[in-house]
Amino acid sequence: MNRRGFTLIELLIVIVVAGILLSIAVLNFAEYLRKGAVERQTKEMYSDLMAARTAAVTQRSPKRVIITPTVFRSISSSIGSSIGLSTTKVLSHPVTWSGKSASDTEVEIDFDERGTFNIDAGNGNTTICIEPSVQSAQYDSIVVYSTRIHLGKVAFGGACNSDNVTVK
């Protein structure tokens, strides 16, 4: 007798294999979403820093950016004043930084009318890192030097400072 079709065992094996493949795909997709969110926030902060720097140069007026662990604020007034038009963004991922005192609750980045960042830190820069660092993300940090701003990637398990960031 020639029967065509599948046995119950064959169908169960196919369902189990499909389930395993689907669970792997879901885990990879969740990691992909986390990576994308970290990269998006890093690039938005970089863009906002560059916009503040450009505004300082084109308007020939100092500009200030204030970053707390959960808020990014750009002030369109001169340095030394927190009054003026400001753009505030609530950060979806908390940030940490180096280059200032660790006890500071915020970091202030002041661009003068030439677009340079006045650095009072000992290592000559301020490093801003997105937490938690997602190892697969291409960018998760920003290094602000006196005359330039770079995106970077923190070394796995490294502290948030320019020595542990690979500038890209």
Report the CATH number that the domain containing residue 80 is assigned in CATH.
Answer: 3.55.40.10
Q: What angle do CA 149, 72, 47 make, to 5 degrees?
A: 35
Rounded Cα distance between 8 and 101, Å, is: 67
Rounded Cα distance between 130 and 160, Å, is: 9
Query: What is the average pLDDT across 44-52?
Result: 93
> Quick check: is 3 in a domain?
no
> Quick check: is 1 in a domain?
no
Categorize the per-residue pLDDT at 46 as very low, low, confident or very high, splitting at 50, 70 and 90. very high
Query: What is the average pLDDT across 8-31?
Result: 91
Residue 19: Cβ-neighbour burial (10 angstroms; 0-12, 13-18, 19+): exposed
Which range, 44-58, 130-144, 153-167, is most confident?
A: 44-58
Q: Which pLDDT does position 43 carry in this prediction?
A: 94
* Range in 33-47, 84-98, 136-150 the model is least confident about: 84-98
Rounded Cα distance between 138 and 31, Å, is: 13
Query: What is the average pLDDT across 147-167?
Result: 88
- Number of folded domains in the chain? 1
**pLDDT greater at residue 162 or residue 132:** 162
Mean pLDDT (the chain, rounded): 84
Map residue 130 onto helix, strand or coil: strand
Q: Which pLDDT does position 50 carry in this prediction?
A: 94
Measured in residues, the chain has a length of: 168
β 107-111/95-98 pair status? unpaired
Query: What is the average pLDDT across 118-136?
Result: 74
- The model's pTM: 0.78
Q: Which pLDDT does position 19 carry in this prediction?
A: 95
> Quick check: is 146 in a domain?
yes
| First vs last C-alpha separation in the chain | 68
Residue 43: Cβ-neighbour burial (10 angstroms; 0-12, 13-18, 19+): middle
> Quick check: is 64 in a domain?
yes
> Quick check: is 2 in a domain?
no
Query: What is the average pLDDT across 16-32?
Result: 90
**Of 74, 72, 112, the residue nearest 95 (C-alpha):** 72
Q: What percent of the chain has pLDDT over 70?
A: 86
* Enclosing domain of residue 45: 8-167
> Quick check: is 34 in a domain?
yes
Name the phi and psi angles at 149, rounded to 5.
-130, 130
Q: Which pLDDT does position 5 carry in this prediction?
A: 78
Q: How far is CA 142 from CA 19, 60, 110, in A?
A: 40, 24, 15
Residue reference for tokens 């499909």: 18
> Quick check: is 161 in a domain?
yes
